[in-house]
Structure 1
Amino acid sequence: MSPEDAIVGSDEAGKGPVLGPMVAAGVRAPPESVPDDVDDSKRLAPGTRESIAERLRADEDVAVGVAVVPTDRIDDPETDMNSLTVAAHAEAIAAVAREGDAVVTDAGDVSESRFARRVRDGVVAASAPDTLSIDVHAEHRADETYPLVAAASVVAKVRRDAEIDDLAEEYADYGPLGSGYPSDPTTRDFLRRYVADTGELPACARASWSTCADVLAAAEQSALSEF
């Protein structure tokens, strides 16, 4: 398969944050239905991303599949982020793919061929009992090269942002959440405030992330020093 012949693209958003879910999206579309202004979602303004996602969903020739991986599943000690990324891509692709489709995906593994193989096997499992036979090509930074993958990255990012907006409302009493990434001081401040007030992590936090362990340890040390 030539990846240029792909009819389905997939990508994920939110693999690295300490807050909120990871979201994967699959987009099945003919080339003429992919908006001209599509790009890697990280390079687009929020309003542009939302406009592109709306146009994709409104096009009757486009099919969109989304898989949301919640924090409790991410924290499950029986799994890992590589496996969850594969499963999310497979679920999103299975929701839109048809028999014989060619798929191009943003590789979520150091080995592009291994990621492609695992995603293909995951789609077969997810589509059982009527298993799909598809061809999957995985490539690093595919969202910068293939418009279909960029379209999927936009859909995933828009859904991930909506999830974070909902969490911001839910936890409004503890101040802004920020982006949800460990490097974001606003996010770390939110976690510190929540832990200081409640003595535990919020349900939206990935408790298995080292950032959460650091916040808990700092809170415990503070309590001991006050004692």
Structure 2
Amino acid sequence: MAILHIVVLALVSTISARSIALKTRQSPAILPAGSALLSIQASGNGCPHDTANIVLDNASQTAVITNLTEFRAKIGPDGRRDATKNCAFHASVQAPQGYQFTLLQSVYAGYARLDAGVGGRFAASYFLSSNASDVVGRTIFLEGKSFLEGSTFEIDLEHGTPRDYHKWSNCGQSDIANINNRISLVAEAEPIESGELIANAAPNQTVSVLWRQCTQMA
């Protein structure tokens, strides 16, 4: 299996292999005193609030998310109505003095069946509610020619990503951290060819809090 490395927004990666290696990330075993993952909510047409099941593990500051049954996109000659789906997670995090946090996602596993003229895209963007205009992201492309017969895939958004590239909170400031995941399909020519992209095949999806020490500005 090949390992997908996603480093910066300006660089994009293309999935041409049948699967991508799995490598999950977890919060450190020791968490700062006074820190907490207070809540996490899901939104978007790919994970409506009444469908996603979210369970918080306060001991590890990790949320386990299941039942993302709507996180799938379709395209075909009959229209483009479901060509884009987004699934966003909003985590309210309490930060103690002298620490700042970011969020990590585990792997996304899915299935794609694409005609040669259809391209798929998985994009993830990160921002804090206190500064919503400051966004970082990663984008992965799926080539139709690699998924003509239908194949499974795994996307690890964290592997090879420098910690400084994550969107870190202000030092000692509680905030709401947001991750917006978007899948989309685009047909290159008319008549529109067909394709389906599903990004909910993993047994569960996790979002966890990562901490580091920082210096409080005067």
Question: TM-score band, normalised by the shorter chain?
Answer: under 0.3
Over alpha carbons, which structure has the higher Rg? 1
**TM-score, normalized by length of structure 2?**
0.25
Which of the two has greater strand per residue?
2
Which of the two has greater helix per residue?
1
